[in-house]
Amino acid sequence: MNKFKNFAIKLEKILNEEDIKIDEPMKNHTSFKVGGPADILITPKSFQQVIDVINLCKEDSIPFFIMGNGSNLLVRDGGIRGIIIKLIKLNNIEVQGNKITSGSGTSLKKISTEALNNSLTGLEFACGIPGSVGGAVTMNAGAYNGEISNAIESAKIIDDCGEVKILNKEELKLGYRMSSILMYGYTVLEVNFNLKKGEYEKIKNRMDDLNRRRSEKQPLEYASAGSTFKRPVGHFAAKLIEDSGLKGENVGDAQVSQKHSGFIINRGNATARDILNLIGIVQRRVKEKFDVNLYTEVRIIGED
């Protein structure tokens, strides 16, 4: 740990002291509310700070991980060695005509509301997704027949060589829960959306309807990371899990939701190990019964 404390002193030349946290519990930064400590967690306020920190990490061979608001992240109980760069403070929004430019740390709720306020249609599907813009682009987030690939124009990124580039829609290679960001380990700084003019009331009604449907069908009252598994080709994960008799299955306080079998929830005191063990049970049972492999949509990082 001394290595990282010494590195934290170097970070103080780039960041404000309040933006550097040592031995920070990751359960405070993920929607699952589990996870051991990160050696260092930082919250940069500018693109240049992000660039400078990444370059410093590479110079000193310090491992780093980029995160948004942790809504699709499961951190193991042993925590994370190295640096977590949390981009939640990169949350600027600028609207020009039918285009919105947003920092990667902006919440999807905030940007969809901004689109609504400017009578722009194309981001309604994102109003209830509890993620950040950068994470949404990385995973090509989607719901209710909408996804980021339908609304995005380009993204400003840091590539694996530390260079800042603008990637257009084609270069982002957006597929089902996939992108060139994820494939090549890029970091999203800013995103440009190209939307269409619409009618305020129609947009609002659509968002209200989607939020109502989410509330009725999803276990929003519990900590979770949303849909735990990717959709298998030709199947629905939730139906496979339910038809395997796993609704309500639990390991400690980790449980397959009674409300929506596609969600594994933390009923209050689950550990990451509980959640991972339950994920394994679900995967094995579905494979045995239907010969279908379930792959996690949630990203799993850290040490046991």
Which residues are identified as catalytic? 177, 227, 297
Q: Write out the DSSP string of the chain.
A: -HHHHHHHHHHTTTS-GGGEEEEEEGGGSSTT----EEEEEE--SSHHHHHHHHHHHHHTT--EEEESSSTTEEE-TTBEEEEEEE-TT---EEEETTEEEEETTSBHHHHHHHHHHTTEES-GGGGG--SBHHHHHHHT-EETTEEGGGTEEEEEEE-TTS-EEEEEHHHHT-BTTB-HHHHHT-EEEEEEEE-EE--HHHHHHHHHHHHHHHHHHS-TTSEEEEE-BPPPTTS-HHHHHHHTT-TT-EETTEEE-SS-TTEEEE-SS--HHHHHHHHHHHHHHHHHHH-----BSSEEESB-
